[in-house]
Chains A and B, each alone.
Chain A
Amino acid sequence: MLGAILDDLLTSPSTGPCITATRHFPPRPPVLAPFPPSLDSRIADALRARGIHELYSHQVLTWELIEKGHHVVVVTPTASGKTLCYNLPALQALIAQPDARVLYLFPTKALAQDQLAELEGLAKQLPEMRMFTFDGDTPQDARRAVRARANLVLTNPDMLHSGILPHHTKWATLFQNLRYVVIDELHAYRGVFGSHLSNVLRRLHRICRHYGSAPQFIMASATIANPGELARRLTGAPVEEIAESGAPTGDKTFLCYNPPVVNPELGIRAPYLGEAARLAVRFLREKIATIVFAQSRLATEVLLASVKHGVADKTGDSGIVRGYRGGYLPTRRRAVEKGLREGEVLGVVSTNALELGVDIGHLDVAVLAGYPGAIASLWQQAGRAGRRSGSSAAILVATSAPLDQFMATHPEYLFGAPPEHARVNPDNPFILVNHLKCAAFELPIGDHEKFGELDVRRLLAALEDEGVLHHTGSRWHWASETYPADHVSLRSVTSDNFLVIDTTALDTAQTKRRQIIAEVDWGSAFATIHPKAIYLVESEPYEVRELHFREDEEKVAYVKRVQVDYFTDAISAKGVWILQRLADESRPAYLAEQGEVLVAEKVVGFKKIKMGTLENVGSGEVELPQQERQTTAAWLTIAPETLERVSASREELIDGLRAVTYLLHHLAPIFLLCDIRDLGSWLGDTTPAEPGTVATRESTKRRLLAAERFNPTIYLYDSHAGGIGLAERLFEILPDLLRRGLETLHACGCRVGCPSCVGPVNEVGRKAKATAQALLRALTD
């Protein structure tokens, strides 16, 4: 049935031309090897009892490298048996030495639960196995028992950071005897999360040294360009890399689907969400288990509504399709996972939250609504279909964004390009300072002690001046009443979350029921849960009535269930100011610089967008405070002569520069393993008139037009306070990025600009594409 639908997609006149690339991956046989001779016979028996009589080559290679004492990272695809790579040495250590301890780290609690179940299955018959999860869900009274009994602890970096390391004396036995630290889903630790984890591991190393242990690290990662480098950056130690998988794979078809152009003049394509929903519904109607990945929470909700609608048309049952994303409460997510495993749920629309290895059983088709921003994520999401054997398919539905169009028109990049580099910046000053506080809380820091490889004496002195550290007897001591780990969230640079509380019941029954329906992080709160915003949960619209954001208040949004047919999109004003220049490169046509900037943003209003047609049906204003952050950026200032050569009209130049800004921002994530939202962009001026005053696009344009001196500057900045290493890399690749931008403009079929190259023509102006082309030619000469 799957094959028939795929054939039809490829050959039918309505869809065939939209398929820009097809790749068939034939099944691959396994490469097997016998059990290593040193493997304990009881473990070998347990494997045989589960029908495993030989190992895959990469599992044996891991075993050998671990035996030699190396740290190891295994990089193999989904469902290649990577868990055995670390489970075998761990179980062996526990059997051989009654005192040995092993620590497993997973990025989420759900993954730890999954792994515990798998381990218990394997270790049922083995002696001395005392395996427990230890996380935020572990009841207080059970924690003591876990600390006392467990010799294998499954947890997450957050719990290690706030619940284990600051209480290391209660875990003294674990740290004295820590043999292995297992880190699965290593690729998830990039950007902010990875920068935090790297610091948490610096702290772990200190504690282990204190207790006299030096654990070996066994890590597993999905395919990224630099797993070895990432592993070394995270652990601060040399790591051996195993990249050759010996596991078999099933037969798989990968299609790239570019929605048809519906308005050639404006270069407008059919909305990708609608196309993705149509494709998913075709499979679901034939009872083919399908997962749809959306690229944002909002897109998830919009897609879910259309898929449910499409499926309900035929089957009359919309409960077989569910939504899944961060922000849903854990119970709701567990129910969806279970439903998928047990087959009650046939389809799921998810954000990348299901990209990681949460056990949801096998699915047949993955529809990727939009390029997930990284090759590694693309294969990870596609890998959710057909995990074990049999035929499966993955379809990438391109959006009209430049990045997606680049991929749709350069399939060789999609299939041939090496995956991206995962970047972390453990030395981000905001992140580093917070972890230094935690480290001092855990153990006084010696005068000559390094943190990782870093000399931190100046930072420690600064912290003493702030009054949280106290130096005496050649050591820095924690000298504050607070518990610093409580103030540091590993998932963001700052840590305040908003609770979304449904008050619908309050009006009807007059009861004071506070039903929490979601959580929203600080960074996106003003844009998504401002007053009068429509907030969607499983495609049910809620209107935000009140938002409490003041320093001294509990951060909450009170919402009420409403019946509306629109959602809201925030309008914000922005400003960027240079704080410090750290590097520059002067070229005839422009000056490129890199350094620190202040970014101020303010949500000033919102548009109402009708569901389905996506037309603008109204707007509103909101009064919210300005959010400011210091971060790192790369920027280029174009020489006046260059501008003169391109055009004499300042307005044309502004439109053209905006177009270039849009294009560079949207293309840059190809070169950095990052989400488009990890970057921000702004066309401004090197000498802004009023520091601290934000402006909308329109007022900025007016100001640039009226300015005495015209010094336009294109800023590309790291969205995370302090930066996670994106700006430095951007500065390096800027010449290449400009060349790619020019190529993309040449390749785009539209006449005067479209969302796929320089942005929607009604926003950038009719001459923007031509001006942008001229500018880029000048800049790449």
Chain B
Amino acid sequence: MATPSLDGLRHIIRRLETARRPRTAAPPAHEVLGGELHDTPEGRVLVVRREFPLAHQHGRQPLGQAFEAPLQLLGAVARAETPLGDARRLLFLDTETTGLAGGTGTYAFLVGAGWLEDGRLVLAQYFMRDFDEEGALLAALAPLIERASGVVTFNGAGFDLPLLETRFILARRRWPPALAHLDLLRPSRRVWSARFADCRLATLEREVLGLLREDDVPGAVIPGLYFEFLRSRRAAPLARVFAHNRDDVLSLVALLGWFGRALLGDAHLQAEELAGLARLWEPVDLERALACYRRALGAGLTTAAAHRVRLRLAWWEKRAARWDAACDLWQAASRHDVFDPLPWEELAKFHEHRRRDLVAARAIVEEAMDLAGSGGAPERVLGALAHRLSRLTRRLASTGQHGA
């Protein structure tokens, strides 16, 4: 950032002393944005409130499914620290901020909150028209968080919640110490990181929910639009920011619905999604995870993904000492079109240590070396195989076993 020069400062100050800029009149923000001013103990805050029927489709996904999601399970697979309560009392949260830098100088100027009320989804957006309305915004938000059974966000663990916590502490408000929180970014990464180039919400909306936003405002320009509003008081350009935030909250609801159906097993899933779902099940229910991996293999994964899944499955089978199943998987993996030493090493170890068949072990290592050599494997891999081979040969010589 450029430091103002001494001259520049002096110039600016002189100008300020002669006349402070009058602010031009603009139509009030609540009229432009279609909201109302709510009174709180800390003053007034602008609230834009919309309601959606549960049958409302966000992309291909009806909103209502979110409230049927098996939450205990979802919380467990998402590794939420505090278990989530009643699905019908969840609070969906997304913030628009004055920057991504974090720290005490970044404000959440717009907070979108969604919850179930009388069989409809209520989506309320709390907006501070200037910095001195932050207290009122937080005062309006606090009871929503207090009475929720849990909070659902996308990347809230890394961004929205620490930011809100900072704002609460600065305003000398209590932040619930053990807030139940489901950050959908974590399970999304598990399910889709292998399939999509990134796991941004926009990507998931497009690919999973089948939603294409029209005229969406890029996140990077949002702080600038707010600062411009503070100077000009013209609220019209902010309408796109409100729409963006509304879509974000609806996507949270829709995405939770998708996870619910997938976990209940009644969604039609692609092979890659099955493999991702299996990763989600792993820490919760291993057998379901393994079943899911097998379904993924059967559903036609790409060869690279299938290879990863085989190795993962084999690792679990080995831990369960189901050696036949593990060997079958390693066998299959050893035929992968890009040479990978791992299944070969596992097979060699199995024959050497389990079956105590040094001859078979040596034959496997020799075959692996042939393949590795012609496949142009790195020096390190060839070295490790050679080392294993010489050890096996030494052991064979000392035990008197001889190869064919």
User: B104 contacts A484, CB within 8 Å?
Assistant: no
- A483 adjacent to chain B (CB < 8 Å): yes
- B304 adjacent to chain A (CB < 8 Å): no
**Contact with A169, one of B16, B98, B165 (Cβ below 8 angstroms):** B165
User: A473 contacts B130, CB within 8 Å?
Assistant: yes
Using known A-B contacts A433-B3, A472-B131, determine if residue A480 contacts B227 with beta carbons closer than 8 Å.
yes
Using known A-B contacts A169-B170, A472-B130, A472-B132, determine if residue A466 contacts B99 with beta carbons closer than 8 Å.
no
- The CA of A486 and the CA of B101, in the complex, are separated in Å by 10
Which residues of A sit under 8 angstroms from B166, Cβ to Cβ? 167, 169-170
- The CA of A166 and the CA of B223, in the complex, are separated in Å by 19
- A334 adjacent to chain B (CB < 8 Å): no
- The CA of A475 and the CA of B224, in the complex, are separated in Å by 21
- The CA of A442 and the CA of B102, in the complex, are separated in Å by 11
Which residues of A sit under 8 angstroms from B9, Cβ to Cβ? 429, 433, 459, 462
User: B101 contacts A429, CB within 8 Å?
Assistant: no
Which residues of A sit under 8 angstroms from B101, Cβ to Cβ? 481-483, 486
How many residue-residue contacts, CB under 8 A, span A and B? 102
User: B7 contacts A579, CB within 8 Å?
Assistant: yes
User: B132 contacts A442, CB within 8 Å?
Assistant: no
User: B104 contacts A169, CB within 8 Å?
Assistant: yes
The distance from the CB of B293 to the nearest CB of chain A, in whole angstroms, is 30
- A477 adjacent to chain B (CB < 8 Å): yes
User: B169 contacts A441, CB within 8 Å?
Assistant: no
- B100 adjacent to chain A (CB < 8 Å): yes
Which residues of B sit under 8 angstroms from A168, Cβ to Cβ? 104
**Contact with A481, one of B7, B12, B98 (Cβ below 8 angstroms):** B98
Which residues of A sit under 8 angstroms from B104, Cβ to Cβ? 166-169, 441-443
- A458 adjacent to chain B (CB < 8 Å): yes
User: CB-CB contacts of B214-249 with A at 8 A, as 1s and 0s?
Assistant: 000000000110010011000000000000000000
Query: What residue in chain B is nearest A485 (Cβ atoms)?
Result: B103
User: CB-CB contacts of B103-131 with A at 8 A, as 1s and 0s?
Assistant: 11101000000000000000000000011
Which residues of B sit under 8 angstroms from A126, Cβ to Cβ? none
User: CB-CB contacts of A428-461 with B at 8 A, as 1s and 0s?
Assistant: 0110011000001111100000000000001101
User: CB-CB contacts of A460-474 with B at 8 A, as 1s and 0s?
Assistant: 011001110010110
The distance from the CB of B5 to the nearest CB of chain A, in whole angstroms, is 6
Query: What residue in chain A is nearest B224 (Cβ atoms)?
Result: A481
- The CA of A461 and the CA of B21, in the complex, are separated in Å by 12
Which residues of B sit under 8 angstroms from A379, Cβ to Cβ? none
- B298 adjacent to chain A (CB < 8 Å): no
Give chain A interface residues in 473-518, CB to chain B under 8 Å: 473, 475, 477-484, 486-487, 494
Count class of interface residues, chain B:
20 to 34
Using known A-B contacts A481-B99, A484-B1, A630-B6, determine if residue A442 contacts B13 with beta carbons closer than 8 Å.
no
User: A465 contacts B16, CB within 8 Å?
Assistant: yes
- The CA of A459 and the CA of B231, in the complex, are separated in Å by 19
User: B169 contacts A579, CB within 8 Å?
Assistant: no
Which residues of B sit under 8 angstroms from A170, Cβ to Cβ? 166
The distance from the CB of B115 to the nearest CB of chain A, in whole angstroms, is 27
Query: What residue in chain A is nearest B135 (Cβ atoms)?
Result: A473
- A172 adjacent to chain B (CB < 8 Å): yes
- The CA of A429 and the CA of B12, in the complex, are separated in Å by 14
User: CB-CB contacts of A29-49 with B at 8 A, as 1s and 0s?
Assistant: 000000000000000000000
The distance from the CB of A418 to the nearest CB of chain B, in whole angstroms, is 34
Give chain B interface residues in 131-189, CB to chain A under 8 Å: 131-132, 165-166, 169-170
User: B3 contacts A467, CB within 8 Å?
Assistant: no
Which residues of B sit under 8 angstroms from A479, Cβ to Cβ? 98, 131, 227, 230
Give chain B interface residues in 1-47, CB to chain A under 8 Å: 1, 3-7, 9, 12-13, 15-17
Which residues of A sit under 8 angstroms from B170, Cβ to Cβ? 169, 443
User: A481 contacts B3, CB within 8 Å?
Assistant: no
- The CA of A722 and the CA of B9, in the complex, are separated in Å by 13
Which residues of A sit under 8 angstroms from B223, Cβ to Cβ? 481
Which residues of A sit under 8 angstroms from B99, Cβ to Cβ? 480-483
User: A429 contacts B6, CB within 8 Å?
Assistant: yes
Which residues of B sit under 8 angstroms from A596, Cβ to Cβ? 6
- The CA of A479 and the CA of B128, in the complex, are separated in Å by 14
Which residues of B sit under 8 angstroms from A459, Cβ to Cβ? 9, 13
- The CA of A771 and the CA of B170, in the complex, are separated in Å by 67
User: B105 contacts A434, CB within 8 Å?
Assistant: no
- The CA of A444 and the CA of B134, in the complex, are separated in Å by 12
Give chain A interface residues in 332-375, CB to chain B under 8 Å: none
User: B6 contacts A722, CB within 8 Å?
Assistant: yes
Query: What residue in chain B is nearest A444 (Cβ atoms)?
Result: B131
Give the one of B5, B15, B102, B132 with max A CB within 10 A: B5
Which residues of A sit under 8 angstroms from B130, Cβ to Cβ? 470, 472-473
Query: What residue in chain A is nearest B12 (Cβ atoms)?
Result: A462
The distance from the CB of A174 to the nearest CB of chain B, in whole angstroms, is 13
Give chain A interface residues in 540-590, CB to chain B under 8 Å: 579
User: B12 contacts A466, CB within 8 Å?
Assistant: yes
Which residues of A sit under 8 angstroms from B16, Cβ to Cβ? 458, 461-462, 465
- The CA of A479 and the CA of B131, in the complex, are separated in Å by 9
User: B12 contacts A465, CB within 8 Å?
Assistant: yes
Give the one of A465, A481, A484, A579 with max B CB within 10 A: A481
The distance from the CB of A199 to the nearest CB of chain B, in whole angstroms, is 14
- The CA of A594 and the CA of B306, in the complex, are separated in Å by 77
Which residues of B sit under 8 angstroms from A481, Cβ to Cβ? 98-101, 223-224
The distance from the CB of B10 to the nearest CB of chain A, in whole angstroms, is 9
User: B5 contacts A484, CB within 8 Å?
Assistant: no
User: A462 contacts B13, CB within 8 Å?
Assistant: yes
Besides A462-B13, A481-B101, 15 other A-B contacts (C-beta < 8 A): A166-B104, A166-B105, A167-B166, A169-B165, A170-B166, A443-B104, A462-B12, A462-B16, A467-B227, A470-B231, A479-B131, A480-B98, A483-B103, A630-B5, A722-B6
16 A-B contacts (beta carbon < 8 Å): A167-B104, A169-B166, A430-B6, A458-B13, A465-B12, A470-B130, A470-B131, A470-B230, A475-B131, A475-B132, A478-B105, A480-B99, A482-B1, A483-B102, A483-B105, A494-B3
